[in-house]
Structure 1
Amino acid sequence: MTSVGAHEHADTAQPDRQSVAQRLLDSSETLSYDPVKEVDWETPLDTSYHGASPEWSTLYGTSYWAEMTPEQQRELTRQEAASVASTGIWFEMILQQMVLRDFYAKDPTDPAFQWALTEIADECRHSIMFARGAAKLGAPAYRPRRLAVELGRFFKTTATGEAAYAAILVAEEVLDVMQRDWMRDERVVPFVRTINNIHVVEESRHMKFAREETRERLEGAGRLRRQYNALVVSIAAYFIVSSMVNEKVYANAGLDSKRAIREARSNEHHKAMLRSSCAGLMEFLDSAGLLTKAATVFYKRANLI
């Protein structure tokens, strides 16, 4: 990620920060994609494919999943993939605004400034790519619930430093693990696999910077600051993860919505998938002092621990 709510760094830290930013810029020049050209937007949707790896479905492993026809299972994964993409757009828009706010009127010759604009360009392309992908999957516009939208509006306006970076990292890490599975899965419709591959490759640079910025911002931070930001990040994580699959996907897949929601909420397989995907993230947050007792409550509610 880019610098969010940046403060004045010590002179000795600047060369390292600039070096990292320059390496990311170089990497971006070497390995970036244009979704307009790379993704097959023209071929009609082949409904013999899933939209995501079935094992990542919120109903996989439930009695309802066992009763569903293969066609219903594929349609559900397509709707769920579209919902995840829509949630990705929501958070990427939050990120873009935080980055622009941070770099307003700063030194444009600084590699970090140029990396910030590069990342905004990446996220903008990703959002358009996700939007077109969701439309091609035959899904409506899935949006987070009103409370999440309003909290996101507040977060993008106020979050700074490690709170912003760590929250960004949570969103990207969860998406990264599931999308790595989807992009390799031949059961998933080819154009979705391409979308996931593009996102995984380009977001890897963003995650690297987010981790380094989180560590740097926390240097010298006191206990109260760590406790506060740990809680803020965990609450953000809860709303991000709980917003990924909109409950309307079940009705749109032709299922009994009430039963599907009930079984999805108690689906231990899906909870285990989320916990597994976040093992590395939780280790990082713990090492950074951001996995406090209060924060753990929200991570457990989000099934990340």
Structure 2
Amino acid sequence: MTTTGTSTTTDATDAIGASGVQGLRDALGPLRDREQVALRLLESSAKHSFDPDRELDWDSPWEDGKWFWPPELVSLYDTPLWRRMPDEQRQELARHELASLCSLGIWFEVILMQLLVRHVYDKPVTSQHVRYALTEIADECRHSMMFARLIEKTGAPAYPVPRFHHNLARVLKTVSTTPGSFAATLLGEEILDWMQRLAFPDERVQPLVRGATRIHVVEEARHVRYAREELRRQMVTAPRWERELTRLSCGEAACVFSVCFISPKVYESVGLDRREAVAQARASAHRRAVMQTGARRLTDFLDDVGVLRGPGRRLWRNSGLLA
């Protein structure tokens, strides 16, 4: 994938305008053929797709002393409150945060499926691009069911996002541009994917959790590739107003994502003072570094294709995901 500096290329894109799609392509570099990308992803799907109901041992008991999530990725890690907590309470918090992350994952997957259906609605039904989108939707259905089953297995409750943000997402996905849809897709996938890549090889973590994260990482790699290729294409070919709206909606989505990432209710569930825990998590330099490191590969890409500009960039900084 050929890339160039963000500010130069985006200014060129805005300036070229009337010279047409070819001029825009020249400004941002060559794009891969959409059908060829989809065909390669379909071939990978045929070789590396999983049925979590059959692949994972759901009947095996939890192993004593093992974590439900790597401790360094728990929101309170290395805070004064964390240092006062006994190991048992720390592991209990990790269990509830896993349930919260799975709940968040389902919420994003359901939004993503709706956005993908909208994306292919007017496209040729026999194209490889549409066929892969439908394949990805099937993947996301399995992932959502896997996350729901994992929540049940932990014995922790589901943690839905706050009603305000739940309804705000209705608005965002309704007015979302096509490039905005793929930018939001990457936001929902890449940070969690980074965390799961740390979780699935970690022998401190419960085997069932490691197995679920492994499945998700393998299949999400295709989803990220599909979204990145399409976002690059859309930021080259979309009209200026659509690119500007995408920058704003993506920045707003980043703010929603950062607020909803871990439900504050998890702290009450393990006997902590909610206000104190939320305050310490927000003030934690370690937590800020974790979130920004997890987002860095994504923000570098979004910067490269011209999404992180103007007010949208300021929203990303306000979210805490961009240094």
Q: Which TM-score applies when normalising by structure 1?
A: 0.92
Question: Counterpart amino acid of 2:95?
Answer: R
Which residue of structure 1 lines up, in the alignment, with residue 214 of structure 2?
Answer: 197
Which residue of structure 2 lines up, in the alignment, with residue 107 of structure 1?
Answer: 124
Which residue of structure 2 lines up, in the alignment, with residue 160 of structure 1?
Answer: 177
Gap change, CA 1:228 and 1:71, over 3 Å in 2:
same
Checking the alignment, whether the CA contact within 8 Å between 1:76 and 1:250 is kept in structure 2 is yes
Checking the alignment, whether the CA contact within 8 Å between 2:177 and 2:245 is kept in structure 1 is no
* 1:271-282 superposed matches below 5 A: 271-282=288-299
Which whole-Å CA distance do the structure 1 matches of 2:31 and 2:186 have between them?
A: 22
Question: Counterpart amino acid of 1:289?
Answer: G
What is the aligned residue count? 296
Which residue of structure 2 lines up, in the alignment, with residue 125 of structure 1?
Answer: 142
Matched residue SS, 2:271:
coil
Show structure 1 runs of 5+ residues with no match. Answer: 1-8
1:135 is aligned, of 152, 155, 179, to 152
Which residue of structure 2 lines up, in the alignment, with residue 254 of structure 1?
Answer: 271
1:36 is aligned, of 47, 53, 75, to 53
Question: Counterpart amino acid of 1:147?
Answer: F
Gap change, CA 1:30 and 1:122, over 3 Å in 2:
same
How big is each residue's C-alpha offset from its partner over 1:200-227, in whole Å with a ceiling of 9 and x where there is no partner?
0000000001111011011144554433
Which residue of structure 2 lines up, in the alignment, with residue 50 of structure 1?
Answer: 67
Which whole-Å CA distance do the structure 1 matches of 2:240 and 2:127 have between them?
A: 32
Which residue of structure 2 lines up, in the alignment, with residue 20 of structure 1?
Answer: 37
How big is each residue's C-alpha offset from its partner over 1:92-148, in whole Å with a ceiling of 9 and x where there is no partner?
001111222332364332111111110010000000000111111121120111121
Checking the alignment, whether the CA contact within 8 Å between 2:31 and 2:233 is kept in structure 1 is no
Question: Counterpart amino acid of 2:186?
Answer: L
Checking the alignment, whether the CA contact within 8 Å between 2:102 and 2:148 is kept in structure 1 is yes
Question: Counterpart amino acid of 1:115?
Answer: Y
Matched residue SS, 1:184:
coil
Which residue of structure 1 lines up, in the alignment, with residue 81 of structure 2?
Answer: 64
* Displaced runs of 4 or more, over 3 A: 12-15, 220-225
Checking the alignment, whether the CA contact within 8 Å between 1:171 and 1:241 is kept in structure 2 is no
Which whole-Å CA distance do the structure 2 matches of 1:42 and 1:26 have between them?
A: 32
User: RMSD in angstroms over aligned alpha carbons?
Assistant: 2.0
Checking the alignment, whether the CA contact within 8 Å between 1:47 and 1:74 is kept in structure 2 is no
* 1:140-151 superposed matches below 5 A: 140-151=157-168
How many percent identity over aligned positions? 43
Matched residue SS, 2:170:
helix
Which residue of structure 2 lines up, in the alignment, with residue 176 of structure 1?
Answer: 193
Show structure 2 runs of 5+ residues with no match. Answer: 1-20
Q: Which TM-score applies when normalising by structure 2?
A: 0.87
Which whole-Å CA distance do the structure 2 matches of 1:156 and 1:292 have between them?
A: 21
1:93 is aligned, of 110, 113, 137, to 110
Which residue of structure 1 lines up, in the alignment, with residue 205 of structure 2?
Answer: 188
Checking the alignment, whether the CA contact within 8 Å between 1:59 and 1:65 is kept in structure 2 is yes
Checking the alignment, whether the CA contact within 8 Å between 1:32 and 1:202 is kept in structure 2 is yes
How big is each residue's C-alpha offset from its partner over 1:140-172, in whole Å with a ceiling of 9 and x where there is no partner?
120111121011112222323111101111111
Which whole-Å CA distance do the structure 2 matches of 1:220 and 1:94 have between them?
A: 24
Gap change, CA 1:93 and 1:117, over 3 Å in 2:
same
Question: Counterpart amino acid of 2:259?
Answer: S
Which whole-Å CA distance do the structure 2 matches of 1:238 and 1:18 have between them?
A: 34
Matched residue SS, 1:262:
helix
Matched residue SS, 2:200:
helix
Question: Counterpart amino acid of 1:252?
Answer: S
